[in-house]
């Protein structure tokens, strides 16, 4: 097992994973890399990493909807000349 300093340097500033690094990890998993190998490169647990692909795919699915939310519900701003 690696020491805490090595894990922190892999995580970057503040010990947090950026959205970009999470996205890259998910792409690696979706590309077929082994779930047991990817977390070691990033300093995160396999249990934590295993939740990211579902979140990533759900967000991508929402982005593919036919119309943006404003078009479905209206902007909420209506000008009225009465």
Residue 44 domain-assigned? yes
Tell me, what DSSP letter sits at residue 66? S
| Closest C-alpha to 43, from 71, 1, 76, 73 | 1
Provide the pLDDT for residue 79: 59
Residue 69 domain-assigned? no
Helical H segments across the chain, by residue range: 4-11, 19-30, 38-42, 46-49, 52-63, 69-73
Residue 30 domain-assigned? yes
- Tell me which of 35 and 75 has the higher pLDDT: 35
| Average pLDDT taken over every residue of the chain | 78
- Tell me which of 15 and 47 has the higher pLDDT: 47
Q: Residue 10 sits in which domain range?
A: 4-55
Provide the pLDDT for residue 8: 47
Provide the pLDDT for residue 16: 76
Percent of the chain residues past pLDDT 90, beyond the cut = 45
């Amino acid at each position: 097992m690696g020491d805490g300093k090595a894990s922190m340097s892999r995580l970057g500033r503040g010990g947090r994973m950026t959205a970009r690094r999470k996205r890259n990890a998910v792409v690696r998993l979706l590309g077929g890399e082994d779930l047991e190998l990817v977390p070691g490169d990033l300093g995160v647990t396999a249990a934590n990493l295993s939740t990211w692909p579902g979140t990533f795919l759900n967000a991508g699915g929402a982005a593919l909807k036919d119309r943006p939310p404003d078009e479905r519900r209206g902007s909420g701003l209506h000008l009225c000349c009465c």
